[in-house]
Structure 1
Amino acid sequence: MMEFSQHLCPKFERALEILGKRWTSMIVYQLLSGPYRFVNLEQSIPNLSGKVLSERLKELEAEGIIQRDVYPETPVRIEYKLTEKGRGLAPLFTEIAAWAEQWMEPPADLPES
């Protein structure tokens, strides 16, 4: 089992700062399944505005977590995908999903499936 320190490591703090920004983790989670075009990402995350999505994608690209691929087609096709650094987050999201399944109740306003 991992030992936890009383003091936050600056790297850990930075990671939480990045992933804790609103919508960032949801974007990374969606990209775990493969590349997405902007419009498909926007549609896959309810209540996420295009402006915020654009900002978060730029931030994630600057951090080296995602890669933006431009295909010289007509019209131009742009896809976003996780880098190796971004794919390294997969075990974290797997653990969060398992924890949520065990401990979280669905939101009250979520329709039953």
Structure 2
Amino acid sequence: MLTKNELPACPVATMVELIGNKWKLLIIRNLLASTSRFGELRKDIPGISQKVLTDNLRALESDGLVTRTVYAEVPPKVEYSLSELGNTLRPLFKEMEAWGNSYKDYISNQKLPDIN
């Protein structure tokens, strides 16, 4: 977790520091939908390696956005979910989803140039 002195002065830069890579965004997207186990996250995020998923989950947990719950079972069961703080990102992700859909509509409605 970054200390107060390590955080950028700009609030947008702070957010980018915390969730600004594509893997963290996709992990949070999935955890907004439901609590997940490691294997489920790995299966649902194409292209992510085990190491990258582990590193990003640890960072999100360290930053207080993700909660890791270990159940005393054999074999051990571990689940990841958004913390209370992580859940405050929900409106932001809804807005990003709406913007992404609007952009897709915009691109779909663009006319291709007439080459002939």
Shorter-normalised TM-score: what interval? 0.7 to 0.9
CA distance in 2 between partners of 1:18 and 1:73 (Å): 32
Match of 2:55 in 1: 55
Match of 2:70 in 1: 70
SS at match of 2:14: helix
Compute the displacement of 1:12 (Å): 2.6
Q: Which runs of 5+ in 1 are unaligned?
A: 1-7, 107-113
TM-score by length of 1: 0.82
Bigger share in helix: 2
Q: How does 1:84-99 map to 2 (within 5 A)?
A: 84-99=84-99
Match of 2:38 in 1: 38
Q: Which runs of 4+ in 1 moved over 4 A?
A: none
Compute the displacement of 1:9 (Å): 4.7
Q: Deviations over 1:25-82 (max 9, x none)?
A: 0000000012100000000000011110000000000000000000001111000000
Q: Which runs of 5+ in 2 are unaligned?
A: 1-7, 109-116
User: Larger C-alpha radius of gyration, 1 or 2?
Assistant: 2
Q: How many residues align?
A: 99
TM-score by length of 2: 0.80
Is 1:102 equivalent to 2:102 in the alignment?
Answer: yes
